[in-house]
Copies of this chain bind each other. A is one copy, B any other.
Amino acid sequence: MPPQNEPAERHTLSLLVDNEPGVLARIVGLFSGRGYNIDSLTVSEVSHESHLSRITIVTTGAPMIIDQIKSQLDRLVPVHRVIDLTVTGKTLERELALIKVRGSGENRREALLIADSFRARTVDTTLESFVFEITGKPDKIDQFVSLLAPLGLVEVSRTGVAAIGRGPEGM
């Protein structure tokens, strides 16, 4: 049982792993088998070194749990590196969302105004609907979605977080 006095924290972990069958299954299995939370997960090839994939996992837990997760991930052979981007603190985190709203009249105009103020791009338009593309930190996207909710929100598709360190150095 985690100590009651440690509040849960949200951490973004970046993993460089071998691009092989079964690696993602092992990592996801490690989380689910121990009851660790996954808020979002993204995996894709590191295009210029195609034998490697990068997995970015956003997880929430008490500091002791986060430390456990990191050390267990580090012990997996196909995992080359585990970086806790929340700890390094010099991280850019970005997520993309596609958001469909349907409405007419005042609701439609209001949705466009909100999209404009969030610098969202309109990527599909019909006489009664829009699809907006927005990028930003997850909080910003949450806020955008909650503002659109009363205006005819149809659906939301989000990518989860991609992250990279600030400054000239590689991770």
From B145, B157, B170, B171, A14 is in contact (CB under 8 Å) with B157
Copy number in the complex reads 2
* Contacting residue for A25 out of B29, B102, B131, CB 8 A: B29
| A18 interfacial contact with B, CB 8 Å | no
Q: Which of A2-10, A45-53, A60-68 contacts B (4 or more CB under 8 A)?
A: A45-53
> Are A167 and B129 in touch, CB under 8 angstroms?
yes
Contact code string A121-165 (vs B, CB < 8 Å = 1, else 0): 001101011010101000001100110010001111111111111
A contact residues, total (Cβ < 8 Å): 66
A39 interface residue, CB < 8 Å from B? yes
B25–A168 CB distance below 8 A: no
- Contact call A32/B24, Cβ cutoff below 8 A: yes
Q: With an 8 A cutoff between CB atoms, is A56 at the interface?
A: yes
State A14–B128 Cα separation when bound (angstroms): 24
Is the CB of A31 closer than 8 A to any CB of chain B? yes
Q: Are A95 and B94 in contact (CB under 8 A)?
A: no
